[in-house]
Structure 1
Amino acid sequence: MQDQTEVVRFLSDPESHGGAPVEVVETHGALVFLAGGEAYKIKRAVRYDYMDLSTPELRHRMLLRELELNRATAPGIYRDVLPLTRESGGLALGGGGEPVEWVLRMWRFPAEDELLAVAERGGLDDDLAGRLGRAVAGYHRAAPRREACGAQLIEDILAELSRVFAGMEDALGSERIVRFGRQAHALLHRLAPLLRARAAEGRVRRCHGDLHLRNLVLIDGEPVPFDALEFDETLGTCDILYDFAFLLMDLDHRGLTRAAGIALGAWLLEAAGEEDAGLAALPLFLAVRAAIRAMVLIQTDEARNMVGHSRDEARGLLDMACRLLEPPPPRLVAIGGVSGSGKTAVAAALAPRIGLPPGAVHLRSDLERKAAAGAPVAQRLPDAAYAEAARHAVYDRMLARARTILAAGWPVVLDATFLDPADRQAVAAVARDLGVPLQALWLEAAPDVLVARVSARRGDASDADASVVRDQLARKPEAGGWIAVDATGPLDEVVTAAGRALAIG
């Protein structure tokens, strides 16, 4: 394998960049040199079972492909590929001598705008998580379709993992590896017809392939994917939900399960329900992504001569993968009450704690209404959008989605006023028809509290104001057979009470 010591020394030297300090970022397949306003990336001279970068020609080809894949979606980052040449005075970037290495030149973005950095400082809030899900949905809409068997793509990945894991028994544990392989193949066998059908419907595309927080950045305040997987067209070709699963797994692994659930909900809403049935495959997709992350951690340790550094984390990821491969039965939770009672806040807090990560899908009538109207979340809709027929259409849409998601084996939290007893009966019918347990909460608060809450809203999907609250209260709504929860106090107390009522730890 080619020795890159001279190349690394040159690109690490501030004198090569006009005196600017140089920061080096290492991965298992690349080195990135950050200097001034620019970033310079080279591929490591390595060969793995799934990636061959052993010659300058192969590395050059991969950098060109990386530029091609990313320049359209992240034009503010990607510039060009330059030769690192040998001149009479030594190495030079973009010289006329013999190329000894190839370098991808990029515009450097502020490190604090990387989504990982945003998340680490607590900036990945609910709003940004929703925009993240919508950004990924847009990326997938634009991704070109590919003809491939969805089940075979996963089968090939599992075979590759099996080959690589055979050399990692000391690091990962042989029993853990065997259990993952057995469970993953069993679930794949059950899901194969669904994966083949999704491929036939156009959901296998040339995706990002490496979608996690380190490969997303805020540009003009919006999340932008970059650094798409370029070294293997087969690995870059996948089901769009499998592509998204990497980001969901990454968020959950970093303790951001709530953000993952909100991003998933936004991604699904952008698809207008067309992706809901595919959630049956999400446990398998999440598990495979976790196993790949475990593999890469071990490989990166080896590449950086830090063997054992990430062993515990990698083992934890493989344990998580095994848990994901045995999903619990789905359940339906409904949360109703007058506007301002805190339904959405409580639902958002409880959803991540229900079922597998990233938690239950939170279906909110306000968001379904805006999506059906093709309106931005914060745009106020005309009164006609709240007429009786329009209200029934929104509830029908929401409950239809709930049926599909539950049938796919995924839990659901419904969030709407449910003032009409007929709507509550419809919820019960969904649970009864599908044979899933239903738990229904009714949030109650004093009228002055309800009015104060809706009056304080800014940029929310709900259009309810004080007059709407008064009209709702005039109907004298009651909990009926639903569990009444006092929602007058602080949110954390209400969430605790609601969780206790649902027996959620």
Structure 2
Amino acid sequence: MGPTENTVCTVGIKNDDQSEAIRFLQDGAGRGAPAQRIDTHGAMIFLIGQEALKIKRAVKYDYMDLSTVEKRHAMLEREFELNRGTAPSIYKSVLPLVRAPDGTVTMGGSGDILEWILCMNRFPQEAELTQIAQDRGIGDDLAQALGTAVADYHETTPVKRLNAYSLIGEILDELDRVFAAMNMALGGDPEAFIAQSRQIWADRANDLAQRSREGHVRRCHGDLHLRNIVMIDGVPTPFDALEFDERLGTCDTLYDLAFLLMDLDHLGMTHAANLVLNAYLARRSLDLSESGLSLLPLYLSLRAAIRAMVEVQTSAVASLGNDNKRDARAYLTQALAYLEPTAPTLVAIGGYSGTGKTTIARAISHQIGNSPGAIHIRSDVLRKRLLHRDPLDRLGNEGYTPGITDRTYDAIRRQARQVLDQGHSAILDAVHGDPEARHAAEAVAKASGCDFIGIWLESSTQTRLSRVTSRKPDASDADAAVVNKQAVADPGPINWHRVDTDQPMDAVIDVVSAILKSKTAAETGIRGGKHVG
């Protein structure tokens, strides 16, 4: 979990003096260039030219033993093994640092082993997701790429036959133990967090067991936040997976993702977190009953609580004072807020092609229900998936027969029910071009005992033609012919909120957001884009 105030920490152990190795690396490791040193509680990284050379620190914590050269070697080899496959352009090799018979110190070769070094290629700071978030934020395209990248990463990880219920229980036990000594530093109410978390953990025992049975417990990254993701060749790439404890690194894949979602939410980037979650789920399965959404509030809360713990520990170890304690209290507040989920809502957005359904659904989804917002269910995407086609493949008339359209609407409504039944909100994004389709959407919410908000978008044929013909590649196959056909269609009586989208999209989004707030602020906790922490 991290160092605690009761941690046993031994440095400078006999026969493990690292001073000679540190001096060699600090002087540039024979590369003829100065080194920039980065210290963490368990490692030292030396940035030299285009290289990053990492050694483990000779320490022993209650959760991590690096007290001998052999143990540090084993941890570096495990770190290399875990990360080499996913980030091969970063991780190069593990080499011994040796003192040759003539007394010279070199990397590799024969002689007395002083230390082991993980050799990595250095990447530019501006490629780090933390730096990107700070400089320009996480845009929509990057957020969706992040969700897809994490889903692909999890697809490659090995399934572990461990009990998700027990794994979460162990984390709660550790937080309970550590928080007992942190009441003053944390402020807030850590006892309330522990009590509420344990209650939800017990209530969700069956859901946790189901996640285990379905193979979602895997040897994951374990430390998947923005700082441990870097852009390589335009692709978000996780690195620096947790290597020192196999049990801590083994978890539900959604719990692994929750660290990234919580991190974005804490930074006020809930919209980006929502896009990450939606892209992740879209990549993983058509069956959202297996999505684990009922567990997401608990998972997000635990991740925030762990960050609160780490901030207090860092303050104690590094003597950083009030800033870290203030951050810790904000994280604990965030953790408690996640444990008070709101009732789910179904929002349905209808309208003909080019009225802006998908643009608006993406823009407002983070405002609805539990953080990081509603699951966006789009008929254009589901239609392609039902036909085993890529979302960007164009379908001919055979993809739009009445039978295929009926199957598509059945699928989006089924997904909505699956999401709502897990206590999470959803947005249906489809034309809903007749009263029967609109009534069927309303019936989904009624059957689940949830609030419903229907929004009908409308704009002139000229506006819709302009939007459709200027689209970048997209899952929608609508073209000018479709728009012209819809221009003479009769949608029948409409009792949903009608919104004119001939105005600029920012203004439309403001109108729709106001509808959501006026209808559901008291009942469902509509958020105006701010993080809960």
TM-score (norm 2): 0.90
Amino acid at match of 1:369: R
Aligned to 1:320: 334
Query: Is residue 2:11 matched to residue 1:2?
Result: yes
Amino acid at match of 2:200: L
Checking the alignment, whether the CA contact within 8 Å between 2:435 and 2:493 is kept in structure 1 is: no
Out of 158, 177, 198, the residue aligned to residue 211 of structure 2 is 198
Q: CA offset at residue 500 of structure 1?
A: 1.3
Structure 2 portions without partners, runs of 5+? 1-9, 13-17, 518-525, 529-533
Aligned to 2:93: 80
Question: 3-state SS of the aligned residue for 1:10?
Answer: helix
CA separation of 1:217/1:41 partners in 2, compared to 1, >3 Å: closer, same or farther?
A: same
Out of 193, 201, 215, the residue aligned to residue 188 of structure 1 is 201
Provide the rounded CA distance (Å) in 2 between the counterparts of 1:120 and 1:217: 14
Structure 1 portions without partners, runs of 5+? none
Provide the rounded CA distance (Å) in 2 between the counterparts of 1:85 and 1:275: 54
The superposition leaves residues 163-202 of structure 1 with CA deviations (integer Å, 9 ceiling, x where unpaired) of 22233333213x5211111111011010011101210221
Query: Is residue 2:177 matched to residue 1:163?
Result: yes
Residues 314-393 of structure 1 correspond to what in structure 2 (within 5 A)? 314-393=328-407
Provide the rounded CA distance (Å) in 2 between the counterparts of 1:302 and 1:78: 32
Amino acid at match of 2:169: E
Provide the rounded CA distance (Å) in 2 between the counterparts of 1:386 and 1:250: 41
Q: Which range moved further: 18-27 or 414-423?
A: 18-27
Alignment length, in residue pairs? 503
CA separation of 1:166/1:10 partners in 2, compared to 1, >3 Å: closer, same or farther?
A: farther
TM-score (norm 1): 0.95
Query: Is residue 2:28 matched to residue 1:19?
Result: no
Q: CA offset at residue 30 of structure 1?
A: 2.3
Amino acid at match of 1:193: N
Amino acid at match of 1:402: A
Aligned to 1:229: 242
Provide the rounded CA distance (Å) in 2 between the counterparts of 1:402 and 1:227: 36
Checking the alignment, whether the CA contact within 8 Å between 1:268 and 1:276 is kept in structure 2 is: no
CA separation of 1:144/1:361 partners in 2, compared to 1, >3 Å: closer, same or farther?
A: same
Q: Which range moved further: 49-58 or 241-250?
A: 49-58
Provide the rounded CA distance (Å) in 1 between the counterparts of 2:175 and 2:129: 28
Question: 3-state SS of the aligned residue for 2:44?
Answer: strand
Residues 439-458 of structure 1 correspond to what in structure 2 (within 5 A)? 439-458=453-472
Question: 3-state SS of the aligned residue for 1:502?
Answer: helix
Residues 31-46 of structure 1 correspond to what in structure 2 (within 5 A)? 31-46=44-59
Seq. identity, %: 49
Out of 63, 69, 77, the residue aligned to residue 76 of structure 2 is 63
Question: 3-state SS of the aligned residue for 2:487?
Answer: helix
Aligned to 2:505: 491
Q: Which range moved further: 326-335 or 306-315?
A: 306-315
Give the RMSD, CA atoms, in angstroms: 1.9
Query: Is residue 2:108 matched to residue 1:94?
Result: yes
Aligned to 2:3: none
Query: Is residue 2:305 matched to residue 1:296?
Result: no
Q: CA offset at residue 222 of structure 1?
A: 1.4
Out of 416, 421, 430, the residue aligned to residue 444 of structure 2 is 430
Out of 274, 282, 287, the residue aligned to residue 274 of structure 1 is 287
Provide the rounded CA distance (Å) in 2 between the counterparts of 1:254 and 1:23: 28
Provide the rounded CA distance (Å) in 1 between the counterparts of 2:200 and 2:356: 38
Query: Is residue 2:282 matched to residue 1:243?
Result: no
Query: Is residue 2:476 matched to residue 1:462?
Result: yes
Question: 3-state SS of the aligned residue for 2:286?
Answer: coil
Q: Which range moved further: 148-157 or 65-74?
A: 65-74
The superposition leaves residues 46-88 of structure 1 with CA deviations (integer Å, 9 ceiling, x where unpaired) of 3333323233322221111111111112211111112233455
Checking the alignment, whether the CA contact within 8 Å between 1:83 and 1:103 is kept in structure 2 is: yes
Residues 101-140 of structure 1 correspond to what in structure 2 (within 5 A)? 101-122=115-136, 124-140=138-154
